[in-house]
Amino acid sequence: MAEKLSFEQSLARLDEIVRHLEKGDLPLSESISLFEEGTGLLSSCSAMLEEAEQKVVKLRKGPDRVPEELPFVDED
């Protein structure tokens, strides 16, 4: 499930999990499963950060005005 979340969604979920855990009013079994979910999110977020590679494109108006992506090349 964690793999499907975007970075931003993962971050929001992590924030929620940490707050829940810090409140300390959950049954232990729930705390443990939240903790495990959080650990999974942390590692998937870190992986996303490590693996991210910037994509740069140039947009051109194609036929029927629909945007067409072209590689961005240096025009200097």
Name which position in 1, 3, 4, 67 contacts other proteins (CB under 8 A): 67
Contact (CB, 8 A) for 35 and 21: yes
57 lies in the site for other proteins, by CB under 8 A: yes
64 lies in the site for other proteins, by CB under 8 A: no
2 lies in the site for other proteins, by CB under 8 A: no
Give the position of tokens 């793999």.
3
Structure tokens at 1: 């499930």
Q: How far is the CB of 74 from other proteins (least distance, A)?
A: 8
Handedness of CA 22, 28, 31, 36 (dihedral sign): positive
5 lies in the site for other proteins, by CB under 8 A: no
